[in-house]
Amino acid sequence: MKRIVLTVVLAVCLFVAILLNAFSLEGIWKAAAIAALIGLVILLVNIWVRKPFSFKESLRELIRDVGIGFVVAAVVSVSYEASTRSVAEKEKGVDVIDNLMSSFLGENVWKEMRDEVVRTPVLRRNHVVRISLMRNGTLRNGQVISFPKCRALLHLESGYDLYRLTPENTPATVQQALNFEMWDQQLQLPRFELVRIIDLDRFLQQKERKRYQGETLRKIEDGKGNIKLEGAEAVDLPGPGENKPVRIVSERYEIVSTPGQYSFILPVLTTRLPESEAHTVTVIVEEVPDDISVEVNTFWSGHKFVPSADKKTWTFDGIMLPGQGLSVMLNVPPEKQGSSLNPCG
């Protein structure tokens, strides 16, 4: 009887080996076949070393072990399905969307949109821009400035909440740029004055983490109107599960034409926090000369800033995609514009 049992087990092992080789099984099927083969070999060894040999006892233990195996298989299957099926379904859904959008827009266009928007690592919210204009006066560092009627100095403070969207704990690169085509060598304008990194707790209480001003600010400039926090200066952000942003605040001086237009581009996806009183973008007009009126606009289809009654505050509640932005229109009524003798007019 012992020989019969051994022969049957060997035959099953041989059959599994033949199937494994004949069908060139791969992945999970190959792993399952190898596991079954190892299990049968262990059973064979167990029967071989048993003394004295008892067919009924061996059969009873075999049935018990097979039963345990089925129970374990059920537990493993349920656990595997619960943890991986949702992931597999999401991946399948993403593949379907990728194929559809690639067919509709073209693979290159969809890849660009996916990388810049869908898979963006960071997100801006509650972007507040404060602007003021002056033609004559003294700046914070004691510098005296004076501009003709057709020019003005724009002071702009930009502050926004920066959120991390990806689980990877990779510091975020922060970059901002001036309208450098208005560069004045004598005045050393336009230029950045200040950059602040501010931590916010869950109650939105602020605590300044780092300040770039003077020499520290010069170290993150490239001499071409750009500042960039990268490498050792890149900004560490809380994980997406914490839902805590870091606020980035910067101040700059820009030379603008009056009348004229100042464009402010948002390089990162910017949106409104759901059910929040804070707008996507808020522009606050603080001080301007009497002969200038300010209007905030955007030339992107469907985007519109809503002014307050006094036109001192302009708000936008939609979504700003990377590369979109706003335009500050600096209008001067004809009766208040300079005469033809004005060197700018």
- Mean pLDDT value of segment 238-246: 86
Q: pLDDT tens digits for 287-343?
A: 999 889 999 998 887 789 999 999 999 999 999 988 899 999 999 877 766 554 444
Q: pLDDT tens digits for 22-46?
A: 555 455 566 666 666 666 666 666 6
Question: What size, in residues, is the chain?
Answer: 345
Pair (148, 74) in one structural domain: no
- From 43, 78, 104, the end of a domain falls on 104
Pair (65, 134) in one structural domain: no
Pair (166, 254) in one structural domain: yes
Pair (225, 160) in one structural domain: yes
Q: pLDDT tens digits for 97-145?
A: 777 777 766 777 767 666 666 667 899 999 999 999 999 999 988 999 9
pTM above 0.75, yes or no: no
Pair (56, 153) in one structural domain: no
Instruction: Judge whether 160 lies within some domain.
Output: yes
Number of domains in the chain: 2
Name the more confident of 19 and 142.
Answer: 142
| Confidence at residue 260, expressed as pLDDT on a 0 to 100 scale | 92
* Structural domain harbouring 61: 2-104
Instruction: Judge whether 6 lies within some domain.
Output: yes
Pair (73, 170) in one structural domain: no
Pair (153, 291) in one structural domain: yes
Instruction: Judge whether 111 lies within some domain.
Output: no
| Average pLDDT along the chain | 81
Pair (248, 155) in one structural domain: yes
